[in-house]
Chain A
Amino acid sequence: MKKLGVIVNPVAGMGGRVGLKGSDGDEIQKKARELGAKPESPLRAIEALKVIARLKDQVEIIAYPHEMGADEAREAGFDPRIVGSISSGATSPEDTVRAVHDMVAAGADMILFAGGDGTARNIYTALGSGSDIPVLGIPAGVKIHSAVYAVNPRSAGEVTALFLEGKAVNIREAEVMDIDEEAFREGRVSAQLYGYLNVPENKKYVQSVKSGTRSEQAEIQGMAAEIVANMKDDVIYVIGPGTTTRSIMQRLELPYTLLGVDVVLNKQILANDVNEQQLYDLVKGKKVHIVVTAIGGQGHIFGRGNQQISPRIIRAAGKENITVVASRDKLTSIMPRPLLVDTGDPELDRELSGYYRIVAGWQDILIYKAGLE
């Protein structure tokens, strides 16, 4: 019998409705309640679990007590196995971390959670980077910069059910990102890329011969090949974080930093995982080319998860020396909104706005717009 771990962050999303830009921290939660906020995530979790309820007899739900999953699972018609303990009404991020550990120990095949970026980050922290347990988010938080969520609760339920039935789903590596809420409430956005979780997603069935199939792996290899084939001698290449850019480093057979910035010259490694100052020292006065990918659920090319590539470094390269790599699927998922630039320098953001030649595969370029939110 397949085992599904269910974690509900019962306070996720409370801040949003009352305009608080996030719900992390006791003070904020109190304030949210005072402002009349009601828990959103339990309802969303129930909606998703009801879709899975058709597999009631084939799936065991492992849940944390009370509002962290057990109540919601029962409401959806399950009889969950309860693990761990919490103090109801006063749950904390540490509860989420413990829940993950307990569910892994109980042999969960997948974890379904309801929450936002803070919850996703807690789960990532608990699992660590080596884990391959699939995780899927029911979007319920105020901040959803990460790319680990289904589009809505129902489709979270659908994809989970398909996965548990052993049907065709893709597993993709999706970014876990979170922003500093304190700064966010003060009007500054500073988002970090924390890592990647394995996220199942519905593989759209290919309906007719006319549409054909593309292998995602082949597509990523194609992008890397296209970038590498166009690399010029004596130009410093700044390779941003991400799984798509990682493939470039792999193709060059160079060591890479998944979450950081690497620097390449003449197809040799110049430096790994540089910070802003180190990067600036390397590129100052040189010919520079920046390669970045769209990061997070909203498709940021600058300002999220790659802040090392700061305004002065972008200026050193110039707009014409920026290459963006992104798959067709990524672009269609954010369409018709533009890719986003948020460097912290409004004037530079404006200069960077406009159309880009996006590398989407071998000899395959898409024209797409980048701009401000």
Chain B
Amino acid sequence: MSRDRYSRFRKFHQAKWDEEIIFELSVPGERGVLVPKAEKEVAAAVGDGVSALAGLKRKKAPALPEISQMRLNRHYLRLSQETMGTDVNIDISQGTCTMKYSPKVQEHMAARHPGITEVHPLQDPETMQGILEIIYKTEQIMKEISGLDYFSFQPGGGAQAVYTNASIIRAYHQSRGDLKRDEIITTMFSHPCDAATPNTAGFKVITLMPDENGFPPIEAFKAALSERTAGIMITNPEDTGIYNPRIKEYVDAAHAVGALCSYDQANANAFLGIARAHEAGFDMCHFNMHKTFSAPHGCMGPATGAVGYREFLRPFMPVPRVEFDGSRYYLDYNCPQSIGKTRSFLGNFGVVLKSYMWIMQHGAEGLKEAAICSVLNNNYMMQKLKKVPGVVMYYDFGVGKNRLEQVRWSWEKLQQDTGFGTTDVNMRLSDFGIQHYWTSHHPWVVPEPFTLEPCESYSKDDLDEYCGVLAEISRECYEEPEVIKGAPHNGPTHRVKHMEIDDEELIAVTWRQYLKKKGLKK
């Protein structure tokens, strides 16, 4: 019995290796691999392989760390033990990120199959028919899932997908000579990239605030619409897990003033196989393949934001498009009105491959079941967490009573009762072997927030353990405040100094910057 027999809690303690930064491990001359000399035949054909590149050769060797294989292996294993990633903890904490299980077989294919790993993106398309076929077939599937007519997998993430869609909205209006449309409408609980990326693309952004129901009233939306509205870019269900039931009215009202409608479906776990962008009237949408379709997120990428469009927007889509002439797959660059490339080559093909595999493993019925299970898991957790002292569920009436795949919770009552807020609870969470939870985008519309998303992958035992931990921390806040004040107790690092993290004078994101800021190097 590895967990406590009665409380069911783990006797967890984080690893403390205090592992050096890899550059500190470097010893001049140490080698991980000795590159063999080319065989005679090869040398006869291309010489030493380097002289031919005379003009391209670096004058100085790159300043890479020099480390033996064994030490390198130890380095990464230690680092992996110092993190609390999805593979070691019950990763319900990262609401809106859809931390579902990423089957390992996907990784094996993407990382080991020579048909994937040995291909160069500049090869003749004739020699990478398999890869093109997978992209093409995934497109056919995504068309079915969304009801839209064309897809591209070029954007390297959700935010880039939304940027791509904003660019397409602009290109569409420009193509019609309609130059006065310079506003995009979004909502407060949509992902911030629905506001940020259109702004980067040159639009003014109008944000709708939620009313007491948790979503913006249609009257507010209508007040925002005008002949200057280029498009709307919104998430639904929003970060709160509430589905705006009047979405079709929003879309119709936007269309009535000539605006386009873009649906942020980054996280489609709530309605996969159940509801589609097409029926909701949207002109375009995007999916995060690294969320809903199980490809791992991996520290800021690789990711893929799959963008989908109705027929009339095809001329503006990114190039190249993967097409099929009945016998061969080919790349079509002949799109004069295209917004161009949003990422090099074909995007992150590995992510498309993993998503394709996941879809094929599940089948159409399986996708729908994943959505149903994720909503079921969330509703089970909801009933348990609502009973935890100090927890408040905002908008818990009317439409807000029913949540889909996630909930933005609040520790408002806990804070009023005990003085401990969401930050304090978060500090204690890691003592139970669960990584810190995500609070909310700023500003905190829901006070003392935390956002949980139990995807379909987690078992009842996982959900019970997670809820049990939050209940225990709540109890401690009320009854043993000293435990909370000193938390975390079972981690190698005590509290991180936020002031220092926020301070641009102090933070270093590269080794060179670190040396410079520490005054170790000019």
Contacts and interface: CB of A to CB of B under 8 A. Distances in A.
Interface of A: 51, 152, 154, 158, 167-168, 204-208, 210-214, 328-329, 331-332, 335-336, 354-355, 357, 360, 363-369
In the A-B complex, the 3 residue pairs with the smallest Cβ-Cβ separation, listed nearest first, are A355-B223, A363-B204, A336-B212
Interface of B: 183, 188, 192, 195, 199, 203-212, 216, 219-221, 223-224, 416, 419, 423, 426, 436, 438-445, 498-499, 501-502
27 contacts: A51-B419, A154-B419, A158-B419, A167-B499, A168-B498, A168-B499, A204-B444, A205-B423, A205-B498, A206-B442, A206-B502, A207-B436, A211-B439, A211-B441, A213-B502, A332-B443, A354-B223, A357-B206, A363-B204, A364-B195, A365-B183, A365-B205, A366-B188, A366-B206, A366-B207, A367-B206, A367-B216
Nearest to B206: A365
Contacts of A154: 416, 419
A99 B441 CA distance: 42
A167 B210 CA distance: 33
B445 A335 contact: yes
B10 to A, nearest CB: 23
Given A367-B209, A367-B220, 12 more contacts: A168-B499, A168-B502, A207-B436, A211-B440, A212-B442, A332-B444, A357-B223, A360-B207, A364-B205, A365-B206, A367-B216, A367-B221
Contacts of B223: 354-355, 357, 367
Nearest to A205: B498
A167 B440 CA distance: 23
Contacts of A363: 199, 203-205
Name the residue in B209, B212, B223, B423 with the highest tally of chain A Cβ atoms < 10 Å from its Cβ: B209
A369 B224 CA distance: 12
Contacts of A51: 419
Contacts of A204: 442, 444
Nearest to A356: B223
Contacts of A207: 423, 426, 436, 438-439
Contact of B442 (A158, A167, A211, A360): A211
A329 B442 CA distance: 9
Contacts of B423: 205, 207
A366 B210 CA distance: 11
Nearest to B502: A213
A212 B443 CA distance: 10
Contacts of B426: 207
B414 to A, nearest CB: 12
A211 B443 CA distance: 9
A204 to B, nearest CB: 6
B233 to A, nearest CB: 14
A206 B498 contact: yes
Given A204-B444, A210-B438, A365 B499 contact: no
Contacts of A214: 442
Contacts of B502: 168, 206, 213
Contacts of A367: 206-209, 216, 220-221, 223-224
Contacts of B208: 366-367
Contacts of A158: 419
A366 B209 contact: yes
